[in-house]
Amino acid sequence: MRILIAGACGMLGRDLVEVLSEGQELYLLDVERFPPSLSSQFSTLTLDITDSEKTYREVTKINPDIVIHVAAYTDVDGSETNRDLAFRANALGTRNIALACQRFDTALLYISTDFVFDGEKGEPYVEFDRPEPQSIYAKSKYWGELYIESLLNRFYIVRSSWLFGKSGKNFVTTILNLAKEKKKLEVVTDQIGSPTYTKDLARAIAQLIGARGKDFSTGASVYGIWHITNSGQCSWYEFAAQILQDSDVHLKPITSEELDRPARRPKFSVLDNYIWRLQGWKPLRHWKEALKDYLKEIGEQ
């Protein structure tokens, strides 16, 4: 299978490269220049997906079997002030990739977010629930979904949440770094979600697209919207407590109102991996188990 990964230098992108590198022909795309560890092993393309003409030209030239699109402007609070940047990258950039896929009916897998929901449902969201994005970032990601749905037949929209992985700044590394400087940390208790390890998500994506032993051409039965996260749920406060369980740092619970971040975030955005379960597939492991492996991977345990 010829796979193009857009956003290959990012946190999820790097794990996708690792998981998919065996037995697949990989092409890597990112706006950044590639580190030699990637450019020496794979075909790479430095490209800004907001450039519609170049994206169309280069992606159709590669003519992959599938594009896995994880490139995004991911600064949730920054999107409130850099509105154009968010919509250009996340909505129009995704449209540009979808238009290139349209030419040869190439399948597209897009990563979206739990933030497309408003968080008011009070129970886990299934794929059939209606999105109601509240922030600029969430709206821009949702518009990426809408472009894909209107332009393509063969697509997967994979919504995930609260990602942590070895190749990017994330909540776990932020908490670990703060704990090295401070004896007391304030963490929000009134936002609930499901932390997800990028390595587990990358493996699940490989399973979804049939890159692991199944015939890719039969993938048609699993196109559509998917919620994929590690199992279990927690607040940011509980997540921080688990990260710091062996430390003497004092954690103080606070509310979102007290933290006063620029972007509104959903209070409860747990994603029920409903279609995954209906498909009869084994749920992803609990986030606490995944966290333990991640802490080992980064040498913190």
Ligand X SMILES: NC(=O)c1ccc[n+]([C@@H]2O[C@H](COP(=O)([O-])OP(=O)(O)OC[C@H]3O[C@@H](n4cnc5c(N)ncnc54)[C@H](OP(=O)(O)O)[C@@H]3O)[C@@H](O)[C@H]2O)c1
Active-site residue list: 137
Contact segment (CB under 6 A) with ligand X among 4-12, 211-219, 249-257, 262-270 equals 4-12
- Please classify residue 168 by burial: count the beta carbons closer than 10 Å to its beta carbon, then call 0-12 exposed, 13-18 middle and 19+ buried: middle
Based on its alpha-carbon atoms, the radius of gyration of the chain, rounded to whole angstroms, reads 19
Binding string, 107-136, against ligand X, x = CB under 6 A? ----x-x-----------------------
Residue nearer to ligand X on the CB measure, 9 or 291: 9
Binding mask 60-99 for ligand X (x = CB under 6 A): ----------xxxxx--------------x---x------
Q: State in angstroms the smallest separation of the CB of 12 from ligand X.
A: 4
Q: Is the CB of 168 or the CB of 253 nearer to ligand X?
A: 168
What is the maximum alpha-carbon separation in the chain? 57
Residue 5 Cβ, how far from ligand X at the closest point, in Å? 10
Token pair in block for residue 138 = 């969430």
277-296 mask for ligand X (x: CB under 6 A)? --------------------
State which of residues 80, 99, 134, 168 lies at the interface with ligand X (CB under 6 A): 168
Q: Give helix then strand counts, H and E, for the chain.
A: 13, 13
Residue from 3, 4, 7, 227 in contact with ligand X (CB under 6 A) = 7
Q: Please give the size of the binding site for ligand X, defined by CB under 6 A.
A: 27
| Minimum CB distance to ligand X, residue 215 (Å) | 27
50 binds ligand X (CB under 6 A): yes
By CB under 6 A, is residue 11 in contact with ligand X?
yes
Q: In angstroms, what is the minimal distance from the CB of 15 to ligand X?
A: 8
CA quadruple 245, 247, 248, 252: dihedral, nearest 10: -50
List the end-to-end C-alpha distance of the chain, in Å, as a whole number. Answer: 37
DSSP-derived letter for residue 115 is G
CB of 164 to ligand X, least distance (A): 8
* Residue reference for tokens 């490989």: 206
Place of tokens 């490269």: 17
* Cα(85)–Cα(87) distance, integer angstroms: 6
For ligand X, the binding residue among 3, 4, 9, 97 (CB under 6 A) is 9
> Tokens for 249?
């740092």
Q: In angstroms, give the least distance from the CB of 139 to ligand X.
A: 12
Structure tokens at 176: 């670990």
Choose, by CB under 6 A, the member of 18, 48, 132, 186 that binds ligand X.
48
Whose tokens are 């600064």? That residue is 75
Which of 144, 124, 120 lies closest to 132, judged by CA? 120
How many residues are given for the chain?
Answer: 301
Cβ proximity to ligand X: between 32 and 247 the closer is: 32
Is 196 in contact with 290 (CB distance < 8 Å)?
Answer: yes
Cβ distance 101 to 107 under 8 Å? yes
Member of 4, 16, 67, 163 binding ligand X (CB under 6 A)? 163
Q: Which residues bind ligand X (CB under 6 A)?
A: 7, 9-13, 30-32, 48-50, 70-74, 89, 93, 111, 113, 141, 160-163, 168
